[in-house]
Amino acid sequence: MRDFFRFLSRHGLVLAIALVVLVAILVLMGRSPAPEQPQPGAEDRPLVVVGTFSLIGDWLQAVGGEHIDLRVLTPVGAEVHEWELQPRNFIDLESADLVFYNGMMLEQWMRQVAVAVGEDVPLIGLAERSDYPVQHIITGDYSGEPDPHMWMDPRAVVEYVGVIAQTLARHDPANAAGYEARAQAYVDQLETLHREVADKFAAIPESSRVLITSEAAFPYFAEAYGFFHDGIWGNNAEVEGSPRQIMRITGVIEQRRPAAVFWESTISDRYVTSLARDTGVEVAGPLYVDSLGPAGSGAETYLKMMRHNARLIAEALEEVS
Ligand SMILES: [Zn+2]
């Protein structure tokens, strides 16, 4: 023991320094090493913004430009109502700062998205947040419920774009002015689009403005441009092409005698083709509703898709009117 105290008195200072250094090392190791986490929206880390389907991706890109890192869950041409999340979707959702979806039960799979992103990531339902008059599903199992296809009226997309710009600006104030400027430029294009589509149909008499499709996804479009509208089924989330649906729509076609019936890009054309054959009307398509078109389709953006639809409908209905 005496030797120990002698040792201490001789080497005490060295030991004390060694102890201090040791404690310092342990404290530093204990602190979780914190590599610099740039804030979302900072110059070197753009906001990771997820959209549920191609149309929302188009609007997010139009407003967000180079300031956002955009991810879209469903590919072009996919069926959006009943999508099943893929492994790459989970990777995108894990890094998401914001998720934009349409809502009104368009994406039947939003609960899975909510679970995948956790509680802190805002989910922004564009149709639900837009202050735009709601149309209702006109036939089938979901008859009377809010119809989700609000974007088929460009004036509703003006509202969507407003929600997108405000949300991006709130989460990334450094680029707020950029978002607002881009949103305003896009709104100008939407207003031009709306006038153009209305002009396109001006020559078609009211009685010939009959739009019959597979999914009755055009109530907003019909309201905006003065069409009678019906579909084989009311919403892609229900059974498609049942004998009862076919019988009902055959009666409508025989009563209204449209020049053509239309099919949509995300649905097989076999139902409308057999309907047309049985009722003696033309078939026209594809119309784009739930997805943009692939490269070369002429419907690669929302603006192009709406012009494509208007041209196709006008040409099909003008032929015999
Ligand atoms: Zn749909």
- Say whether the peptide bond before residue 75 is cis (omega within 30 degrees of 0): no
Checking DSSP bridges between strand 260-264 and strand 282-287, what pairing results, if any?
Answer: parallel
| Prediction pTM value | 0.86
Cα of 274 vs centre of ligand 1, distance in Å, is 21
Cα of 106 vs centre of ligand 1, distance in Å, is 7
Structural class in CATH, domain 47-197:
alpha beta
Query: Could you read off the pLDDT of 100-155 as tens digits, one per residue?
Result: 999 999 999 999 999 999 889 999 999 999 999 999 999 999 999 999 999 999 99
Question: How many Å is the maximal CA-CA distance in the chain?
Answer: 116
Cα of 97 vs centre of ligand 1, distance in Å, is 27
pLDDT at 118: 83
Q: What average pLDDT does the structure give for the chain?
A: 90
The share of the chain scoring above pLDDT 70, in percent, equals 85
The pair of three-digit structure tokens given for residue 302, joined into one six-digit string: 């929302």
Cα of 107 vs centre of ligand 1, distance in Å, is 9
DSSP 3-state of 146: strand
Cα of 267 vs centre of ligand 1, distance in Å, is 10
Cα of 82 vs centre of ligand 1, distance in Å, is 10
Cα of 175 vs centre of ligand 1, distance in Å, is 34
Q: From CA 298, how far away is CA 288, in angstroms rounded?
A: 10
Q: From CA 151, how far away is CA 165, in angstroms rounded?
A: 16
Checking DSSP bridges between strand 282-287 and strand 228-233, what pairing results, if any?
Answer: unpaired
Query: Could you read off the pLDDT of 187-198 as tens digits, one per residue?
Result: 999 999 999 999
The reply to whether domains 47-197 and 202-318 share a CATH topology is yes
Query: Could you read off the pLDDT of 283-308 as tens digits, one per residue?
Result: 999 999 999 999 999 999 999 999 99
Q: From CA 179, how far away is CA 164, in angstroms rounded?
A: 9
Q: From CA 111, how far away is CA 84, in angstroms rounded?
A: 11
Cα of 265 vs centre of ligand 1, distance in Å, is 11
- Is 134 within 8 Å of 105 (Cβ atoms)? no
Q: Is residue 203 classed exposed, middle or buried when 0-12, 13-18 and 19+ CB atoms within 10 A define those classes?
A: exposed
Cα of 127 vs centre of ligand 1, distance in Å, is 14
pLDDT at 79: 86
CATH (one of 3.30.70.890, 3.40.50.920, 3.40.50.1980, 3.40.50.300) for 202-318: 3.40.50.1980
Cα of 215 vs centre of ligand 1, distance in Å, is 7
Cα of 204 vs centre of ligand 1, distance in Å, is 26
Cα of 78 vs centre of ligand 1, distance in Å, is 11
Cα of 104 vs centre of ligand 1, distance in Å, is 11
Rounding to the nearest 10 degrees, give the CA dihedral for residues 156, 159, 160, 162.
160
Domain boundaries, the chain: 47-197, 202-318
Q: From CA 203, how far away is CA 226, in angstroms rounded?
A: 12
